[in-house]
Structure 1
Amino acid sequence: MAIVLARKGILKNFEAKEEVYATVPPKKTFSLVTKDFYITPDSLRNVSKKMISKVPKFSISGKIDSLVCPISEPFTGYIKVDKSSSLIGSIEVQLIRIESCGSKKDGFVRETTEIQNSQIVDGNVSNELEIPIYVTFPKLFCCPSLSTKNYRIEFEINILVLFTNNAVVSENFPIQVIRTN
């Protein structure tokens, strides 16, 4: 919105610009798709047998309240470190946008962009402590998930656990972002 206050004579006009976001209460309901997760060294994918010996012994569990996420509401859940043989440096939640363009015949070109990175733990954490996850969707970089014949916009939540010995463990969860109004 732009406002111009015209002044008479030699006085300079006053101008101001401000972004305005309007929200409408939701009209339709959606069903929650909760996801319990459990991460151990044995559950890791894309880790060679040679590298698995460098990954600390750990057990991490948690819950994502819904994989179907209204854009106007936060992404919520919790994560819990059950045990860990190495100290944890931090735990982060990343929001990733995946844009795909192409066709089944020619293949799809896929581009991923990190939209947001929220650090929910800094330093080591007590075992068995439920750490809440509360991440809002950024209005300027997020939109509802979209899938057409030749173009797709998808989203993914990555939970990253960074250990003090420089090992990084990542678990990916595809989510569907929806507009409820």
Structure 2
Amino acid sequence: MKTRWLFLAAALMLMLPTGTLAAQRAHDMGTDAQAFAGHMLEHGELSEQKWMEIVKKYTPDDAKEWQKVFDERKALKKQLQNEQVKKALDAKRAEMKKKREAAFDRLIDRLANKEITKEQFKNEWKQLHKRKGWMTKTEKQKLRELHYQTYEAMKENDKEALASLLPQWLEYMKKENERLAKWIQEAKQR
């Protein structure tokens, strides 16, 4: 466990100077147009106000639909603040932890009883600790590419590219709202 923390600390220490250098370089270049994409890449999302400014500038016909998506997101985030939902999510998290621990205990017992080899134990242990993300690798790659394309379009002030990228962002945000709504619904049912 100690080595895991050491690796994490080392990785963070290596990342900090790089981020600082990139921010300083962007500042030195006077790239205000990049602020949009840089902020988006850094935090994963923009404020509603900044998105709406960009939408009204490049795809004004979609402004009402964007506002609807933002309103839905606000409502979902408000539901996440509900104590009942918080308790349900905590209970779900605790239940999942107990299941993982029980599976790990069974795995250790199988190794102790020599039902499996050390190599099989390692493989099964890796499977137990494999996180099931809510995005597939393909979806993550598409999102990274969308971020990059948006960053480049903002840097070059490419209006045509932005007009084609914004509908993709809108679809992504709609899917995120659906995922969040499903997550909240599942938590409430427990």
One fold, TM greater than 0.5? no
- TM bucket, shorter chain: under 0.3
Structure with the bigger RCO (C-alpha within 8 Å, sep 6+) is: 2
Q: Which TM-score applies when normalising by structure 2?
A: 0.21
Higher helix fraction: Structure 1 or Structure 2? 2
Q: Which TM-score applies when normalising by structure 1?
A: 0.22
